[in-house]
Amino acid sequence: MSPDIVLFAVVIVAATALFGWSCFRRFRLITLGRDEDRFDKIGERLKNTLVYAFGQRRVLRRPFGINHVVLYWSFLILFLANAEFVLHGLFPAYVSLSRLPTGLYYTLAFIFDLASLLALLAVLVALSRRLFLPPPHIEARSRDSFVILSLVAVLMIAFFGVHASEIAQGTEAAARFMPVSALVAAAFMSGAPLDSLVGAAGFFWWLHALVLLGFLNYLPYSKHLHILTAIPNCYFRRLDNVKTQSREEFTAGNTYGVERVEQFTWKDLFDSYSCTECGRCSDACPATFTGKPLDPRLVVHDIKANLLKNGSQIKNKTDRVLPLIGGGQVGSVSEEVIWECTTCGACVEECPVFIEQYPRIIDMRRHLVEMQARFPDDLSTLFENMEQRSNPWGMAPAERTKWTADMSIRPFEAGKTEYLFFIGCAGALSARSRETTRSIARILDAAGISWGILGRDELCCGDSVRRLGNEFVFDRMAEENIKLFTEKGITRMITQCPHCFSSFHDDYRQYGLELEVVHHTELISRLLKESRLKLNHTVDLGNVVFHDSCYLGRYHQIYEAPREIVASVTGRAPIEMERHHSRSFCCGGGGGHMWMEEHVGKLINVARIEQALEKDPATICVSCPYCMTMLEDGLKDKNADDKVRVLDVAEIVARAL
């Protein structure tokens, strides 16, 4: 077989070189991105890689994920088999499984045989799913998918072909331990003349070799690039939850946000290479669900496509062929898409390979707002109100104490009061949410907590402007707040709104604010557990469904506290909607969408209400003033507001006092 070896050597060197070149071209582009430190905490990162890459923890969240796990592990195993295949092909005299101790040899042969079968089956399942039960996003049926799946199938078939013909020739010592190959041999090759068996072996061997090398070279150009990048992407993932954005430095000469693809960090670009196009993010996204042009998977894809299209131009510093923001074709994200995101975090939560989709959207919003001053009309008033009046509606500071009504106003006084009760704009200014605020105040009193408020001096936390990409205004607002908190000597804070909570908890940390911040649901549940708060009686609220706030749930993993409270008050755990906990569906109010009209598709709040109504509730329980508004509006749109009511967790507790 010496001419074969020479030929194979030539092929393999060429293929490897080509593969290497492709990879080099691809990965060199990654280095165009901005710096970002993801090299710390090696131990923790390795652990993550084990759990999420090798353990496929997130992939397994969906039932169909098991198919991927099978394929993934088969591949890991077959990686060895293929290494042996190649080396054996090159150095038949030196490298061969059969040179191993027989026990090991037989075991490996058995494992490889079985893994190939599993891989083949998994591929067939995947193929038929795509053909007969297609996942919602069309990309799952793309040519790319079919090419790759077919290549894998052929590879497995060739594997069996090689081994079956060897078994039929009687040259395979491990035949007994290769049940599948043996079965193929028995079924198709028994009694075949020796020379055709030799011919078949040669054919399948070359088929296997060529498909393997073909696959290798197809990888860098397909979504299966993720085979190379997913594992490192899990290693480099963000170690904490994605719940804030990085600060910008406002000095002359800087640019803000992302307009050109290389303004993303290298990790953001690496993310785009790692997308498996599994479509889980699209499936979770409330915007996609309600027919908006935004699909987080496509945003990731566009980033990758843009990088590939503009790569050489970026390197040579010549004009781009395709703008990142603009839309109209693959590789360019339209402005409409950028404004549709509610920053609900469902995409990030779902992604099996830890891609951070919506933070990239915010990066682009920053560019549009800060460099271009382009944004939907609805936001003009919001931005002005936030900047000049420090509240989204432009209400007067005097209105901030209106909720106290018959209660006496208790100003926060350092040393005397323990907690600052930060009311938040909605809690102070919206008539409906003032009810929640009053309930919380009653609860705090009942539990004997010492609290005070800032009253007219309270300012907006700035959450919405930050999510909308108006980092400059946020920055100024944050500085003002920090000044106020420092002056007043505030160290512990209770918030009524999850958005204030999240801002002070995480965004403000970047400004050096080290407050102990607690959301009212957490505090109440703690007070109940510690028996500092005692309920008088249970309250019958009919069927209660609980709706998770994105900023409490996905952002901060506060899922159980509100549910426990509902259970204590009603004596029953709340009913779960189909989408709950980490898979909960946004109310439609986050990311600045409280202040914008939805012009395309179905209203997100109505979609959520429909999901709630499926459970035939009498009460929908929420823990956020935005959810309160959005869901109440949704109920009205569905003409269900006479049968169902929306209550905040605090309100139901107040009823049990």
Partner 1 sequence: MAEEKKIKKPHGVARLIQGKCIACGARCQMPCPKDAIEMNDQGEPVIILEKCSGCRKCLKVCPVDALEIYYTPQEEKILAEIAARTKAAAPAVEEIDKEAAETLARLKEYRGVWVFIEQTAGEPAQVSWELLGIGAELARTLGVELCSVVIGGGVENLCQESFSYGATRAYLIDDPIFHHYRTEPYYKAICHLVRKYKPEIVLMGATGLGRDLAGAVATELQTGLTADCTGLAIDDRRFLLQTRPAFGGNIMATILTESTRPQMSTVRPHVMPLPQRDVSRRGEIIRETVPGKEADFAVKVLEIIDTRKEGDVDVAAAEVIISGGRGMCAKENFDILQELADELDGVVGCSRGAVEAGWMPAERQVGQTGKTVRPKIYFACGISGAIQHLVGMQDSDVIVAINRDRQAPIFEVANYGIVGDVLQIIPALTNRIREMRTQRRG
Partner 2 sequence: MLVVACIKQVPDTTQVKIDPDTGTLIREGVPFILNPFDVHALEESLRLKDKYGLRATVISMGPPNTEVTLRKALARGADQTVLLSDRAFGGADTLATSMVLASAIRRLSQAEEVALVICGQQTIDGDTAQVGPGIATRLGYAQLTLVDCIEYVDLPARKVKVRRKLRGRHEVIEAPLPALITVTREINRLRYPTVPMRLMAEEAAITLWDNQKMGLDEATIGLKGSATQVRRIFSPERARGEILGDGANEPEKAAQLLLGKLIEKDLLYL
Piece in contact with ligand SF4 (CB under 6 A), picked from 231-239, 295-303, 417-425, 523-531: 295-303
**CB closer to partner 2 out of 96 and 372:** 372
> If binding is defined by CB under 8 A, does position 555 make contact with partner 2?
no
Residue closest to 436 by CA, chosen among 324, 562, 603: 562
**DSSP labels for 178-227?**
-HHHHHHIIIIITT--HHHHHHHHHHHHHHHHHHHHHHHHHGGGSGGGHH
**CB closer to ligand SF4 out of 140 and 539:** 140
By a kind-dependent CB cut-off of 5 to 8 A, residue 342 interacts, out of partner 2, partner 1, ligand SF4, none, with ligand SF4
By a kind-dependent CB cut-off of 5 to 8 A, residue 353 interacts, out of partner 1, ligand SF4, partner 2, none, with ligand SF4
Piece in contact with partner 1 (CB under 8 A), picked from 2-10, 241-249, 423-431, 529-537: 423-431
**CB closer to partner 2 out of 260 and 615:** 260
> If binding is defined by CB under 6 A, does position 56 make contact with ligand SF4?
no
- Rounded distance, CA 608 to CA 598, Å? 14
> If binding is defined by CB under 8 A, does position 42 make contact with partner 1?
no
Largest CA-CA distance found in the chain, in angstroms, rounded = 101
Q: Which two tokens stand for residue 649?
A: 């967790």
Q: Quick one: three-class SS letters along 47-76?
A: HHHHHHHHCCCCHHHCCCHHHHHHHHHHHH
The letter for the amino acid at 518 is V
Residue 133 CB partners (closer than 8 Å, separation 6+): none
- Rounded distance, CA 393 to CA 375, Å? 18
* Interface with partner 2 (CB under 8 A), residue from 37, 377, 406, 642: 377
**CB closer to partner 1 out of 402 and 529:** 402
> If binding is defined by CB under 6 A, does position 359 make contact with ligand SF4?
no
Identify the three-state secondary structure at position 240: coil
**CB closer to partner 2 out of 459 and 558:** 459
> If binding is defined by CB under 8 A, does position 465 make contact with partner 1?
no
* Interface with partner 1 (CB under 8 A), residue from 637, 640, 655, 657: 637
- Rounded distance, CA 27 to CA 286, Å? 33
Least gap, CB of 371 to partner 2 (angstroms): 6
By a kind-dependent CB cut-off of 5 to 8 A, residue 372 interacts, out of ligand SF4, partner 2, partner 1, none, with partner 2
> If binding is defined by CB under 6 A, does position 468 make contact with ligand SF4?
no
Q: Which two tokens stand for residue 280?
A: 């889980």
Identify the three-state secondary structure at position 619: strand
**CB closer to ligand SF4 out of 243 and 280:** 280
- Rounded distance, CA 474 to CA 594, Å? 17
Least gap, CB of 552 to ligand SF4 (angstroms): 15
By a kind-dependent CB cut-off of 5 to 8 A, residue 311 interacts, out of ligand SF4, partner 1, partner 2, none, with none
> If binding is defined by CB under 8 A, does position 250 make contact with partner 2?
yes
Sheet holding 619-622: strands in order across? 544-546, 619-622, 645-648
By a kind-dependent CB cut-off of 5 to 8 A, residue 275 interacts, out of partner 2, partner 1, ligand SF4, none, with ligand SF4
Least gap, CB of 263 to partner 2 (angstroms): 15
> If binding is defined by CB under 6 A, does position 278 make contact with ligand SF4?
yes
**CB closer to partner 2 out of 375 and 485:** 375
Cα distances (angstroms) measured from residue 331 to each of 223, 300, 308, 324, 340: 14, 9, 9, 7, 18
Sheet holding 516-519: strands in order across? 451-452, 419-422, 492-495, 516-519
By a kind-dependent CB cut-off of 5 to 8 A, residue 456 interacts, out of ligand SF4, partner 2, partner 1, none, with partner 2
Identify the three-state secondary structure at position 529: helix
Least gap, CB of 387 to partner 2 (angstroms): 10
**CB closer to partner 1 out of 152 and 459:** 459
- Which residues, 320 to 349, sit near ligand SF4 by CB under 6 A? 341-347
- Rounded distance, CA 105 to CA 113, Å? 12
> If binding is defined by CB under 8 A, does position 380 make contact with partner 1?
no
Q: What stretches of 317-375 show up as alpha helix (H) in DSSP?
A: 335-340, 346-350, 358-366
Residue entry with tokens 């992407």: 233
**CB closer to partner 1 out of 116 and 629:** 629
Identify the three-state secondary structure at position 647: strand
Using CB under 8 A as the binding criterion, the count of chain residues that bind partner 2 stands at 25
Identify the three-state secondary structure at position 397: helix
The answer to whether 221 touches 154, Cβ cutoff 8 Å, is: no
Piece in contact with ligand SF4 (CB under 6 A), picked from 142-150, 272-280, 486-494, 554-562: 272-280
DSSP character at residue 593: G
Least gap, CB of 475 to partner 2 (angstroms): 10
Cα distances (angstroms) measured from residue 203 to each of 167, 198, 206, 477: 15, 9, 5, 71
Neighbours of 616 (CB within 10 A): 12
By a kind-dependent CB cut-off of 5 to 8 A, residue 52 interacts, out of partner 1, ligand SF4, partner 2, none, with none
The answer to whether 487 touches 612, Cβ cutoff 8 Å, is: no
> If binding is defined by CB under 8 A, does position 57 make contact with partner 2?
no
Cα distances (angstroms) measured from residue 187 to each of 113, 118, 174, 320, 621: 16, 19, 18, 58, 63
**CB closer to partner 1 out of 35 and 642:** 642
Site string for partner 2, 422-461 (x = CB under 8 A): ----------------------------------xx----
DSSP character at residue 140: G
> If binding is defined by CB under 6 A, does position 298 make contact with ligand SF4?
no
Least gap, CB of 506 to ligand SF4 (angstroms): 16
Residue closest to 27 by CA, chosen among 224, 307, 281: 307
**CB closer to ligand SF4 out of 288 and 568:** 288
Burial tier of 40 (Cβ tally within 10 Å: 0-12, 13-18, 19+): exposed
Residue 341 CB partners (closer than 8 Å, separation 6+): 287, 294, 296, 358, 361, 362, 591
Piece in contact with ligand SF4 (CB under 6 A), picked from 37-45, 245-253, 270-278, 317-325: 270-278
Residue closest to 298 by CA, chosen among 276, 282, 309, 311: 282
* Interface with ligand SF4 (CB under 6 A), residue from 280, 360, 400, 466: 280
> If binding is defined by CB under 8 A, does position 387 make contact with partner 1?
no
Site string for partner 1, 336-375 (x = CB under 8 A): ----------------------------------------
DSSP character at residue 419: E
- Which residues, 454 to 473, sit near partner 2 by CB under 8 A? 456-457, 472
> If binding is defined by CB under 6 A, does position 553 make contact with ligand SF4?
no
Q: Which residues in this chain contact partner 1 in the complex, by CB under 8 A?
A: 378, 381, 393-395, 402, 426, 429-432, 595-597, 629, 633, 636-637
Q: Which residues in this chain contact partner 2 in the complex, by CB under 8 A?
A: 250-252, 254, 256, 369-373, 375, 377, 380, 383, 388-389, 394-399, 456-457, 472
Q: Which residues in this chain contact ligand SF4 in the complex, by CB under 6 A?
A: 275-281, 284-287, 294, 296-297, 300, 341-347, 350-353, 355, 357-358
